[in-house]
Every structure is written in structure tokens, then in C-alpha cells.
Chain A
Amino acid sequence: MDATAAKLIGAGIAAIALGGAGIGIGNVFGSYLAGALRNPGAAQSQYANMLIGFALCEATGLIGFVVAMIILFVF
């Protein structure tokens, strides 16, 4: 296989990481909403924790993005 083709395929495969991040972020917000609707009184105090969870989740997808960028632009 041509080296450039392999590089492009590799970068594309690295984008699969975004699928996992999508599941994770959906889970974070979904669980927060489910909990918040059952107990609206406790919702406000957990808002910050939800944002931290969101950021931690999103970072895993972005690491996939960084891998794709490294494959494309460094090698």
C-alpha cells in the first residue's frame, strides 16, 4: 500500500475515538438530567461536577483528534 494512503486511513481510524467521547458526553448529560428531574433540589449543587465530568469525557475524544493530527502532520 502507498504510504500516504496508509497515513490517511490511520488518521481516519483515529477519528473513531470521537464515537466513545460522544457516548460518554451523552451519558454525562443524560444521567445529570435524569437525576435532576427526580430531585431538582439537589441539581444545582451537582452542576459543577457535571461540567467536570463533561470536560474529562471530552478530553478522551480530543486525544483521538491529536493522534489524527500527529499522524497527518508529523509523519
Chain B
Amino acid sequence: MKINPMEQFAAETLVPLHIAGYDVSFTKESLWMVIVVGAISLFMVSAVSRRALVPGRLQSMAELSYEFVAGMIGGVAGEEGLRFFPFVFTLFLFILFSNFLGLLPGSFTVTSQIAVTFGMAAVVIAIVLFTGFARHGIGFLKLFVPQAPAWILVLLVPIEVVSFLIRPMSLSVRLFANMLAGHTMLKVFAGFVIALGSAGGLLSTLSVAPMFMIVAVTGLELLIAFLQAYVFAVLTCIYLNEALHLHGH
């Protein structure tokens, strides 16, 4: 039996829809995005509906995530960065929930699609550019000129420009590739279980080994799921900090 570990990433069409020659069908991916947004809304609304002075379990989780992201923005981008709190918090929760929900068996990982992650990265860079130019005017271009002797600048300025241009790509590919690689690895090990289990005889009992491996890798994926959401949010803060303060505070 041949198992294709990439099959899980196919965004099957659920409701075909074509507008003006564009394919805007409601796919499995759209469905899971709706589920992710619904889960976040349910979590946040039910967590803060009581507003107890002594928070219960759910309210503590909401407060914890709020304070975690607020502390992160304050630490990286300073007080002014807190204006972007709603944006960064939304990004963080969306990525975190899609990564976690994607680990459920039979579900679909929204963030394993480059279209989704690149869309988010493009919005981040657009906001950075808009903030930078609105705040510093044409002086925002000083971002590309670090403090250095003139003869080094000849080398440094092109490097800075290229590294800025490559940001949306590295931001999106990091998240997408992590999710893609992790889920492919899980399915490859699942393929080992089936291949060994159907081999018969002594080999069948050996199929327990890759199964335990799946458990271990799922644990690692939980860590990666959180870490990638955190890294995406932190890098967004770092880019926003540069747009707000150019070099340093």
C-alpha cells in the first residue's frame, strides 16, 4: 500500500463558487478558518463574560494570554508599540489556534498553506511600511543606512535593502514550512505503522515502535505549534519597533 503524506494538505472544494473568472470556492481550508475564528471567539467571550475579581480557570487563561502578548510588545517595541496590541494579539491567537486545532486527528492545518501565511506576512509588512512612512516621512529610508563608515555603507546598504525585502518571505515560509514538515513527518511515521503492521508475523509486533514515535513527535509538534505562533508575533513586534523607532529606542 502506498501512502502519500502530502495528501492531507489538499484544500478540497466544499462549495464551488466562481466570481468574474476567479475561483473563490468555499474549501476545507475556509471551513477550518471559520472553525478557528469561532473557537477563539468562544474562548474569549466565555472567558470574559463573568468578569470575576478572582478569575476562574478560563478567565485566567484569557488574562494570561493577554498579559503574555502585552508584555511581549512592551518589551520589544516599548510603550508606543502597545497601540498595535489588537493586531498582534489577533495574529498570535489565530496562528496559535490554527496550529493547535491542526494537530487534532482528521483536522486541517490552516497555517500549512503558504497562501494563508504569506497573506498574514504581507499585512504585517504593509503595516510596518505604512507606520514607518507615516511617522518618519521619507526619513524612514534611514532604516537602510546603519551607523558605519562610508566605504562599508557601499556594501551594507544593499544588504539591508535585500534583508528588508526578504522579510515577508522568510516570515511566511518559516511558519508554513514548520507546519508542513511537522505534519508530513507525522504521516510518514503513520505510514510506517501501517506498512509494518500489514507485513505479518514478527514484523507486525514491531509496528508498536513507530506508533510510540508518533506520540513523541506529537508532543514535539505541540511545542513547535506554540513556538511558531510566538516567533511570528515577536518578529512582528521587532519589525514594528524598527518602523516606530528606526534604530533602537
Partners in one complex: yes
**Cβ–Cβ < 8 Å partners of A59 in chain B:** 170, 173-174, 177-178
Interface centre among A55, A58, A65, A73, by most B CB within 10 Å?
A: A55
**Cβ–Cβ < 8 Å partners of A73 in chain B:** 6
> Are A58 and B178 closer than 8 Å at their CB atoms?
yes
> Are B230 and A51 closer than 8 Å at their CB atoms?
yes
> Are A65 and B234 closer than 8 Å at their CB atoms?
no
Chain A, 47-75, CB within 8 A of any chain B CB: 48, 51-52, 54-56, 58-59, 62-63, 65-66, 69, 73
- Chain B nearest CB from A69 CB (Å) reads 7
> Are B230 and A63 closer than 8 Å at their CB atoms?
no
> Are B177 and A55 closer than 8 Å at their CB atoms?
no
How many Å lie between the Cα of A64 and that of B133 in the bound state?
Answer: 35
Q: Does B181 lie at the interface of the complex (its beta carbon under 8 Å from any beta carbon of A)?
A: yes
> Are B181 and A63 closer than 8 Å at their CB atoms?
no
- Chain A nearest CB from B96 CB (Å) reads 14
Interface of B is mostly: helix
Q: Write the chain A residue with the least CB distance to B228.
A: A55
Q: Does B227 lie at the interface of the complex (its beta carbon under 8 Å from any beta carbon of A)?
A: yes
> Are B231 and A65 closer than 8 Å at their CB atoms?
no
- Chain B nearest CB from A55 CB (Å) reads 4
Contact with A along B198-220 (1 / 0, CB 8 A): 00000000000000000000000
Q: Does B121 lie at the interface of the complex (its beta carbon under 8 Å from any beta carbon of A)?
A: no
How many Å lie between the Cα of A15 and that of B170 in the bound state?
Answer: 19
Q: Write the chain B residue with the least CB distance to A72.
A: B6
Q: Write the chain A residue with the least CB distance to B76.
A: A48
> Are A62 and B181 closer than 8 Å at their CB atoms?
yes
- Chain A nearest CB from B191 CB (Å) reads 15
Q: Write the chain B residue with the least CB distance to A64.
A: B177
How many Å lie between the Cα of A48 and that of B64 in the bound state?
Answer: 17
How many Å lie between the Cα of A69 and that of B112 in the bound state?
Answer: 14
How many Å lie between the Cα of A59 and that of B227 in the bound state?
Answer: 12
How many Å lie between the Cα of A55 and that of B173 in the bound state?
Answer: 12
**Cβ–Cβ < 8 Å partners of A69 in chain B:** 6, 180, 184
Contact of B227 among A54, A62, A65, A66 (CB under 8 A): A54
Contacts A54-B227, A55-B228, A58-B178 known; A66 to B234 CB distance under 8 Å? no
How many Å lie between the Cα of A56 and that of B171 in the bound state?
Answer: 10
How many Å lie between the Cα of A59 and that of B234 in the bound state?
Answer: 15
How many Å lie between the Cα of A54 and that of B228 in the bound state?
Answer: 10
Chain B, 217-244, CB within 8 A of any chain A CB: 227-228, 230-231, 234-235
**Cβ–Cβ < 8 Å partners of A52 in chain B:** 231, 234-235
- B contacts, CB < 8 Å to A: 6, 72, 170, 173-174, 177-178, 180-181, 184, 227-228, 230-231, 234-235
- A contacts, CB < 8 Å to B: 48, 51-52, 54-56, 58-59, 62-63, 65-66, 69, 73
Q: Can you show 13 pairs from A to B with CB atoms below 8 A apart?
A: A48-B234, A51-B227, A52-B231, A56-B174, A59-B178, A62-B174, A62-B177, A63-B173, A63-B177, A65-B177, A65-B181, A66-B173, A66-B177
